[in-house]
Chains A and B, each alone.
Chain A
């Protein structure tokens, strides 16, 4: 299978830094996405990693280690509006089916004052 594992929920303090981890099975890996989803709203694209290393985009950074099947999303200078669910999604290449995107269950982040 292509299970995606991430913590169910996390809590952090306004102004702090939080790291949300995601692990996946490495076979067929073809890229990893992070999405943000506020309650009752559509997921919105945050970042994409396909090569090892860190991708930085403002307060958000995403890291990938392909050999370990591991990624994390790092949120700095947390704001109350960052309270949301963060979805890790991995694209796998399946023989004869092309690319297939599998989503993790999401990590519910609560930012406290």
Chain B
């Protein structure tokens, strides 16, 4: 069974629509992250959360919001989607008390905004 899951896996939507991407994990990690990946730009951090009461902006948070509903759940919302938010979105988790605090990634959500 996958430790980090994302829903939906693919989504096509129109400009101006509100979209929510969901992430769940069974790893028991406190830290969760949302990234987007664009060709030639690598992974860029949108938001991160070190525990349920902690939310922090990453380098590209404009146009996005997040909610940490529980230790295991971290959702990313696009309030009013625009075409340049078309990208591959990854959720990740980590635990600084385990291993090297490396991040474990979900399978990704491919979002297309028309």
* Chain A interface residues (CB < 8 Å from chain B): 4, 8, 31, 33, 40-45, 48, 50, 87, 89, 91, 99-101, 103-106
Contacts and interface: CB of A to CB of B under 8 A. Distances in A.
Nearest to B50: A98
Size class of the contact patch on chain B:
20 to 34
B52 to A, nearest CB: 17
A105 B42 CA distance: 4
Given A43-B90, A106-B42, A101 B108 contact: no
Given A33-B100, A43-B90, A101 B45 contact: yes
A42 B102 CA distance: 14
B70 interface: no
Contacts of B44: 103
Interface in B95-114: 99-108, 110
Main secondary structure of the interface of A (DSSP, over half): strand
Nearest to A45: B102
B39 to A, nearest CB: 9
A42 B40 contact: no
B108 A40 contact: yes
